């Protein structure tokens, strides 16, 4: 079963995780996630994804930031539109070229 969590909840969990790591630096990351899972009821894998994403966005961890992912998505969409337009133009060009040939032959 999938649940949607609002951005405020995600931000709060990321903050809670950072605070937990500061309070108990000797504790493993896995143990910190389990502790938060007990407190919030949110699965630890879900929280891990949020924390990793936040770490990438702040530059603590290598990877594509949220802004970069959105830009790539927009560029892929634009590329698909350009390819469709090119195909339409190619088809129209072939159609008009064939029509011109037919006109000349008559």
Residue 56 has pLDDT above 80, yes or no: yes
Average pLDDT, the chain: 92
pLDDT of amino acid 99: 80
> Please, what CATH class does the domain formed by 1-63 belong to?
mainly alpha
Q: Which residues contact 56 (CB under 8 A, 6 or more apart)?
A: 62, 63, 64, 65, 66
pLDDT digits (tens, 9 = 90+) for 3-44: 689 999 999 999 999 999 999 999 999 999 999 999 999 999
Q: How many percent of the chain have pLDDT more than 70?
A: 95
DSSP state of 2: -
Tell me what pLDDT residue 102 has: 74
User: Would the pLDDT of 104 be above 80?
Assistant: no
Domain boundaries, the chain: 1-63, 64-106
Q: Of the ranges 29-38, 47-56, 57-66, 93-102, which one carries the lowest mean pLDDT score?
A: 93-102
């Amino acid at each position: 079963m999938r649940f949607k969590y609002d951005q405020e909840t995600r931000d709060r969990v990321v903050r809670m995780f950072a605070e937990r790591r500061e309070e108990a630096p000797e504790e493993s990351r896995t143990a910190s996630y389990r502790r938060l899972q007990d407190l919030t009821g949110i699965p630890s894998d879900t929280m891990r994804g949020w924390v990793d994403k936040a770490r990438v966005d702040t530059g603590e961890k290598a990877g594509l930031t949220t802004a970069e992912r959105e830009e790539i998505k927009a560029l892929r969409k634009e590329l698909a539109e350009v390819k469709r337009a090119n195909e339409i133009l190619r088809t129209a060009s072939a159609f008009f070229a064939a029509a011109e040939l037919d006109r000349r032959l008559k």
